[in-house]
Amino acid sequence: MFETVIGLEVHVQLNTKTKLFCTCPTSFAEHQNMNTCPTCLALPGALPVVNKEAAVKAMRLGYAINANVNHTSYFDRKSYFYPDSPSAYQITQLTKAIVQKGEVFIDLKDGTRKRIGMTQAHLEADAGKNMHEGAYSKVDLNRSGTPLLEIVSDPDMRSSEEAVAFLKKLHSTVRYLDISDANMQEGSFRCDVNVSIRPKGQEAFGTRVEIKNINSFKFVAASIAYEVQRQTEAYEDGVYEQEVNQETRLWNVDEGVTKSMRGKEEAADYRYFPDPDLRPLVVTQEMIAEAKIMPELPDAKVKRYIEELGLKLYDAQVITADKEMAYYFEEMLAQGAVAKTAVTWLTSELQGRLNKIGSSIETSPIDAKTLGTLVANISDDSISGKGGKELLDYMMDNESRDVNTLIDKLGLAQVSDDGAILVIIDEILAGNPDKVEQYKGGKDKLFGFFVGQTMKASKGTANPAKVNELLKERLS
């Protein structure tokens, strides 16, 4: 039996206004090489100056994951030649990163919680992009020098489930912290997956392969499954030494396999050395204060939702996994919606309808105030659950979304007033003396008939709980 060992390196593109070492904007550029200057083009003599906003955002992650935030850290040059890097080196932090030794907690399907250690998070400059068009290759340096935070985990994960849970937690965290868009399709959150296996009980780690640049949770899981199988088979066939090498592999989406890209470079190959153009990054008290300004994070929200709102663990996790969902939920509560009812209406009624039209919470045609008001009306019995669904369907299809106006317009107001309901009940009972007789003689099943008749006579507007209560009174 084998055990899988996984460590992840996540590249998060920081959402700063300007690049890491120059004042070029990081925003979308209409033309290639438009957002460039002598520094990010690596022209001789141009000097880098570190971006304070990038440092503060890195520090904020550090505080959020309980790490050491170093008050002095250093930049190093990692040498390699590739056309998208005009300096022929990348500026990164090798020896002393701004953030070291943190932790992230993940929640697993079996209800357990696990701590994943974080080795470090360091600042580095991204490269440009090579674009291959027919016989030509072009280089676009708009991305050259944009700030990346590379977050490195300890080799603490033991399954693809743990790896995906870790990535989702980190993804959610950087989004709450608002330090990155973390858009996986656009590559602003991408990861390298390091995988090895070892016989159960063996202490030494096996040989790891590094699968580069994966940009979806699904591919992370699939590439791990593939690698574990490949490495296990090699072990069982007695060819582990020959076939499992420390190397860089790529996930081939079409074939569903990993393929060897290149042998793993040793650190020596990169000829790392301290960047002589950059002074040590020394953080100020002002930067520390700014970095510590932090929203409530998912773990704290889960705890509060359970303790103060009485939600179930699972519901609290679903709501907080995504900051848009959590903020939507909290806005619903501000409108007077009862928490548990709000969960159902958000995660099943609204989400189900959004799925059908290919929309999401972020692009929902129904905003949180509107759904919150709708649920508040259910919570105080102004409308029934059934009426609420009718109202939600109506608002999904129509531009007019003023809940209180629509309750009148669609005739959804629920009658909870005892007097009004009793008038109807008395009419029904008077009209069916024989059935009343049978009921009193022991035919309990007829109770449902009376409820049905009353609801029908009220055209569905009577509060069913009230109808039940008042009927019981009248028939006893």
Which residues are at the interface with Zn ion (CB under 5 A)? 22, 24, 37, 39-40
Report the C-alpha gap between 127 and 89 in whole angstroms. 10
Closest to 216 measured CA to CA, from 181, 191, 250, 248 = 191
From 142-150, 151-159, 334-342, 422-430, give the range in contact with ligand ADP by CB under 6 A: 151-159
For the record, the structure tokens of 7 come out as 């460590």
Instruction: Supply the minimum distance, in Å, between the C-beta of residue 49 and ligand ADP.
Output: 27
**Residue 298 near residue 173 (C-beta atoms within 8 A):** yes
Nearest CB to ligand ADP, comparing residues 153 and 453: 153
Report the C-alpha gap between 125 and 54 in whole angstroms. 11
Instruction: Supply the minimum distance, in Å, between the C-beta of residue 374 and ligand ADP.
Output: 46
Report the C-alpha gap between 378 and 384 in whole angstroms. 6
Size of the site for ligand ADP (CB under 6 A): 16
Provide the pairing of β-strand 209-214 with 247-252: parallel
Nearest CB to ligand ADP, comparing residues 154 and 178: 154
Binding partner selected for residue 153 from Mg ion, Zn ion, ligand ADP, none, CB under the kind-specific 5 to 8 Å limit:
ligand ADP
Q: Which of residues 192-231 bind Mg ion (CB under 5 A)?
A: none
| Residue from 205, 217, 240, 327 binding ligand ADP (CB under 6 A) | 205
Nearest CB to Zn ion, comparing residues 92 and 370: 92
Nearest CB to ligand ADP, comparing residues 6 and 342: 6
Q: Is 7 in the site for ligand ADP (CB under 6 A)?
A: yes
Closest to 224 measured CA to CA, from 2, 11, 5, 9 = 5
Determine phi and psi for 83, rounding to 5 degrees: -60, -25
Q: Is 155 in the site for ligand ADP (CB under 6 A)?
A: yes
| Residue from 103, 154, 181, 277 binding ligand ADP (CB under 6 A) | 154
For the record, the structure tokens of 388 come out as 């609420």
Distances (CA, A) of 398 to 377, 386, 391, 401, 472: 20, 18, 10, 7, 41
Beta bridge partners, 149, equal 12, 123
For the record, the structure tokens of 402 come out as 């003023």
Q: Which of residues 3-32 bind Mg ion (CB under 5 A)?
A: 9
Binding partner selected for residue 272 from ligand ADP, Zn ion, Mg ion, none, CB under the kind-specific 5 to 8 Å limit:
none
Q: Is 272 in the site for ligand ADP (CB under 6 A)?
A: no
Binding partner selected for residue 154 from Zn ion, ligand ADP, Mg ion, none, CB under the kind-specific 5 to 8 Å limit:
ligand ADP
Binding partner selected for residue 208 from ligand ADP, Zn ion, Mg ion, none, CB under the kind-specific 5 to 8 Å limit:
ligand ADP
**Residue 190 near residue 213 (C-beta atoms within 8 A):** yes
Nearest CB to Mg ion, comparing residues 9 and 299: 9
Closest to 152 measured CA to CA, from 104, 187, 87, 89 = 104
Nearest CB to ligand ADP, comparing residues 120 and 414: 120
| Residue from 19, 208, 401, 466 binding ligand ADP (CB under 6 A) | 208
Task: Write out the residues near Mg ion by the rule CB under 5 A.
Answer: 9
Task: Write out the residues near ligand ADP by the rule CB under 6 A.
Answer: 5-9, 152-155, 194-196, 205-206, 208, 210
